[in-house]
Structure 1
Amino acid sequence: MASVLGMLEERETAARVRVEGLREEVARLAGALEAAEIELDRRVIAREELVEALAASAAETTAVTEAEAEQETAPAPTPPVPGSIVPPWREGLPVTVLAPDYQRILGVLDERQRVGQGPLKAKEITVGLGLGTTSAKVEGVRSKARRLAERGWLVQETSGMFIASRRTVPAPDAAPSA
């Protein structure tokens, strides 16, 4: 009987080893399942956040588009201030949307064009504005003229000279030119 009892003990030991192995595998799988569930939760949250952000962005875009449409139909509520942004030129846009410094630069170039003379260098524009010829003043005028050229108000030639490129709309209270 000892041999039968020994055989049963061996089988019991093998069963215990198998049970322990399965328990370890279950613990490993439980850990993998928990990690997968955490990753799934993160993905769901990320998708929900993205949907919310896109919806908010679409609402803002709609509001901005509607506000821009209202602004295009309504006149500018306040006059421009020095240092304000230069808007891109478009047909019918008056020079009064520009800050006074930019309006003066356009005025010098328009006057030059009216008398049939060609483009001007930044230094000549600076003199025309009565600012002198110091490098600081010339560079300031050059920077503003380049900005006007980038936005389509002027044309900058390859030589660095500037010419009025668009027929500007005069200010409402300006006298008609002869």
Structure 2
Amino acid sequence: MQNNDPHATDPAQDSAADNSVNADLDALTARLAALESELSSARDTVLRERAEIENQRRRLQRDLDQARRFANEKLLGDLLPVYDGLALGLSNENADAKTLREGLAITLKQLEKVTSSNGLVLVDPLHQPFNPDHHQAISAVDSAEHAPNTVVAVVQKGFVLNDRLLRPALVAVVKDN
């Protein structure tokens, strides 16, 4: 008997359609598996990179902490002979004032050498024009010998560390007339 239903499909066509759908489904399943594998690999890579970045951050922080802790190591090592000179001078109970003074002068030269080699420059502006960037005027005096705004006395010397003012020189300056 023949099927005259216009909506009925041919079983051969149904089988071909099913095979096509199954092939598409298999292809999509394989593609999904490949993408899931790629996603898993990308997640692993991201996690490893995050861990590496965190490890680098910790190492950098540790190195920075060490650098801060030992930043003065060279300076303090250079100051040890100055310390030894002062200790030796104080331990000599039989030294007279002249000998102590000579020892202090040598120790001061050692100290000046250490500080200058570490970037410290002395500001001693006697008989130079007043510079408000490096000097602090604590008094103004009259003087016929010097031009106005000239430093005529240094109460306390100043210091510059690597081009940055550490302490201004305290000075007396000639008044403007």
Give the TM-score taking structure 2 as reference length.
0.45
**Which structure has greater helix proportion?**
1
- Larger RCO (alpha carbons 8 Å, 6+ apart): 1
| TM-score relative to the length of structure 1 | 0.45
**Larger relative strand fraction:** 2
